[in-house]
Amino acid sequence: MASSQSSSASSAHAALGHDGHRDPQSRPQLDTLISHLLAAKRSLSSINHVWRANEIVTSSRSTLEESVVLSARTGFLRRGLNHQLRLLYSVRSEVEEISYRGREDFSASLKSLDTADTRLKKTLDLLRETMVDSSFRPQDEDPKSLHDFVDERGVEELHTAMKESIDRTNTARTELDTSNREFDDELDSIKKALQHYRTATKLASSRASASSSTSASSSASDSGLLTLSSMPGMLQALETHAQEMASLLESLVRHFDLCVTAVKHTDGGGAAAQSITGDIPAGAGAMPNIEEEIHANLNAPLDPLTGSEYQEMVSVLMKDAVEAEDVVVEIQDRISEMESTFEQILSQRDALQSVSRATAEVYRHLSTLASTRLPRYISQAHNFTRVWHEEYDRINNGLAELSDLHALYSGFLNAYDSLILEVARRKHIRHRVEKVLRETSHKLDQLYEEDVTAREAFRVDQGDFLPSDIWPGVGRAPMQVQFLRLAGGHLESTLAEGHEPEQPDTGHYEPDLKKVAQGAEGELIPDLPKQVVEQAYARLKARTRGVA
């Protein structure tokens, strides 16, 4: 019995940290002991805090496990997303480059087409403005321009072909632009999802930074695992608090047991102790070992104590009663700190969940885009490239044809002006020929007259002496020369046919220049005004300077 009391006293002494001393005073009043017993019973309500501490540790451990899995899954997704995002933006850059090159090449081709078409239209306008001189055409014919001699169906067909190529290219480019805008809308959606992800990551980092060391914050920007890195330390702190609270509760239980024993050993205290300890604080059942210890002490039979043992027990009880309230306060402080830490753990778990949801949102966007719409965007770029390559060749061929037509019509303009100069040259040559003919005819007439005079003088002087049959030609008239005008290239055929003039030429030649100019003798040479010739020469000279 004595040993049991000594054990109880020494246990209380060890738990509350006091040295036991015998108190020579008489036994304290029962009311004082009962008040300490009531206070010790109230202190046992701290068992709820210990139970809550155990619950917090269990929930925190479960939360940590959940966060580890969530963080690993999020990290795996994030690494894949980084690669996919780089590929996605690379594809968008390639598609934009295709569109840009196509627009640049198409714009350059259109500019070249416009330049060539403008040059051709200008040449056609010059053909319309250039009237054919009436001297080239029949007298009863309406006035004509050089354009009337041009078949413009080739130009129209070329314009139609170029318009079809341009329209087809424009359609393909419009479809590509529409596809690119849809692609950009997809990227905007992904950017918004990424913004949600960044916001969630920053929030997670800020929450973790408030409860983690500076050394841990360096890894936040890399993987977003800052919250996870601080949680194990928090869990360890929670476990330490829970262990300390359990130890403190055990000391309170021992103090309660000591109070029960002291009241029971005090005269008249047995019934009071039974009444006070009839029920223990709710929640004690959550810790069976403590509950068993309490009930064991309540139901244990009293061992007899000597006076000195009783005084020693009361002395220890009185001193421990002073510190019991401090133990309760410490338990409350620790549970408060645990609740705060647990809130941080839950907050950081929630931040990880937010990051995970944001990451999953980006992943869903990318997955949907990659599986459904991205192939169409890429296909649209390839379709535009194919169409543009086909139409680019046609447009280049059209450019070559436009240049050929321009060269042809420009050559027509030059040829007409050259024709005018050629007519002027031929007219000049005809004048020179007529001059030679006049001069030759005049000399022939002189020679003929001389020959006639000489023959007549010979006949007068010698004719009476010469027999008429000595030479039949002695009495014939002099030879006469006739000029015959033939169309170019007909001289040899005329001589081969033995052509003879219908009327013998008298030898006197006076050509009609107007009739010659009109071609009365076989060759048509228009009679062009001097102003027409000068204008043609000026135009040719201006074009020559322009080419140079």
Asked if pLDDT for residue 393 goes beyond 80, the answer is yes
User: Which pLDDT score, from 0 to 100, does residue 269 have?
Assistant: 64
Asked if pLDDT for residue 521 goes beyond 80, the answer is no
Q: Which of 347-351, 402-406, 467-471 has the highest mean pLDDT?
A: 402-406
Asked if pLDDT for residue 233 goes beyond 80, the answer is yes
User: Which pLDDT score, from 0 to 100, does residue 58 have?
Assistant: 93
Q: What share of the chain is helix, strand, coil (3-state, %, to 5)?
A: 80, 0, 20
Least reliable range by pLDDT among 169-178, 264-273, 474-483, 516-525 = 516-525
Least reliable range by pLDDT among 210-224, 287-301, 351-365, 457-471 = 210-224
pLDDT tens digits along 105-150: 989 998 999 999 999 999 999 999 989 888 888 888 889 998 998 8
- The mean of the pLDDT values for the chain is 78
Q: Positive or negative CA dihedral for 324, 329, 334, 338? A: positive
Of residues 71 and 486, the one with the higher pLDDT is 71
Least reliable range by pLDDT among 241-250, 359-368, 465-474, 514-523 = 514-523
**Bridge partners of 145?**
131
Indicate the angle between helix axes 288-299 and 226-264, nearest 10 degrees. Answer: 0
User: Which pLDDT score, from 0 to 100, does residue 358 have?
Assistant: 84
Q: What is the average pLDDT across 324-340? A: 91
What's the CA gap between 465 and 461, in Å, rounded?
9
Q: What is the average pLDDT across 374-394? A: 90
Q: What percent of the chain has pLDDT over 70?
A: 76
In 3D, which of 194, 231, 247 has the Cα closest to residue 11? 247
Exposed e or buried b for every residue in 444-465, given b needs 16+ CB within 10 A? bbeebeeeeeeeeeeeeeeeee
What is the distance in angstroms between the CA of the first residue and the CA of the last residue of the chain?
Answer: 137
Asked if pLDDT for residue 211 goes beyond 50, the answer is yes
Of residues 18 and 258, the one with the higher pLDDT is 258
Q: At residue 509, what are phi and psi to the nearest 5 degrees?
A: -120, 115
In 3D, which of 4, 18, 16 has the Cα closest to residue 309? 4
Alpha helices in 21-152 (DSSP H): 30-43, 47-129
In 3D, which of 242, 205, 204, 200 has the Cα closest to residue 342? 242
User: Which residues are CB-neighbours of 498 under 8 A, at least 6 positions away?
Assistant: none
What's the CA gap between 64 and 57, in Å, rounded?
10
On whether the CB atoms of residues 64 and 238 are closer than 8 A, the answer is no
Q: What is the average pLDDT across 325-339? A: 91
What is the pTM for the complete model shown?
0.58
pLDDT tens digits along 436-484: 999 999 999 999 999 999 999 998 898 888 887 888 888 888 988 888 7
- Output DSSP code: residue 521: T
Asked if pLDDT for residue 504 goes beyond 70, the answer is no
Q: Which of 33-37, 42-46, 286-290, 329-333 has the highest mean pLDDT?
A: 329-333
What's the CA gap between 208 and 201, in Å, rounded?
10
Asked if pLDDT for residue 268 goes beyond 70, the answer is no
What's the CA gap between 544 and 348, in Å, rounded?
87
Asked if pLDDT for residue 518 goes beyond 60, the answer is no
Asked if pLDDT for residue 6 goes beyond 60, the answer is no
On whether the CB atoms of residues 294 and 284 are closer than 8 A, the answer is yes
User: Which pLDDT score, from 0 to 100, does residue 19 have?
Assistant: 37
Asked if pLDDT for residue 286 goes beyond 90, the answer is no
pLDDT confidence tier of residue 193, bands split at 50, 70 and 90: confident
Q: At residue 525, what are phi and psi to the nearest 5 degrees?
A: -125, 110
User: Which pLDDT score, from 0 to 100, does residue 274 have?
Assistant: 63
pLDDT tens digits along 14-53: 334 333 333 444 445 787 787 777 878 888 888 899 999 9
pLDDT tens digits along 67-109: 889 888 888 888 888 888 888 888 888 888 888 888 899 899 9
276: amino acid identity, one letter: I
Give Dmax (Cα) for the chain.
221
**Which residue ranges make up each domain of the chain?**
408-463+475-547
Asked if pLDDT for residue 372 goes beyond 60, the answer is yes
